[in-house]
Amino acid sequence: MLTETDQRLLRIAYDEARTGFDEGGCPIGSVLARGGQVVAQGRNRRVQQGDPIAHGEMDALRKAGRQKTYRDTVLYTSLSPCMMCSGTIVQFGIPRVVIGDTRNFGGNEDFLRARGVDVVIADDPDCIALMQRFIAEKPDLWAEDIAE
């Protein structure tokens, strides 16, 4: 179930995704939060930086810098995390992930749940619509992003 805090932080992730879209990149945004406060936020910068692992979640985690622990954090992401990002979530021990969109891309939710992560699917209409628009307008870039 989404709380008001979840909705507010997921909106920041969406805004990051929108910025990435406006920059010509893949519209995926993410926020790492602790106690309802933003630790860091980021967006997919694969196109902007020419970096194949600069996914939204990775960008937010990189901006967060070193943390003594992640066990008291929540990761918000506009799109379901890929296997690389899911593995990082598990590796860092992030206990809760809130996902805006699993309709356009999904599949790793069970992987996360099987490793004890509380996965919340928001089915956010803005996240879903932005990704649908991106896939329709830039199918080649989308296929590259998901490694197809």
Question: Rounded distance, CA 26 to CA 48, Å?
Answer: 9
Q: Is 57 a catalytic residue?
A: yes
pLDDT at 148 over 80: no
Confirm if 57 and 75 have CB atoms less than 8 A apart.
yes
Confirm if 48 and 24 have CB atoms less than 8 A apart.
yes
Confidence (pLDDT) at 39: 98
- Percent above pLDDT 70 for the chain: 100
Note the pTM of the prediction, 2 decimals.
0.97
| pLDDT per residue as tens digits for the range 60-71 | 999 999 999 999
Q: Which of 4, 57, 109, 148 is catalytic?
A: 57
Cite the beta strand spans of 1-148 per DSSP E: 29-34, 37-43, 73-77, 96-99, 118-121
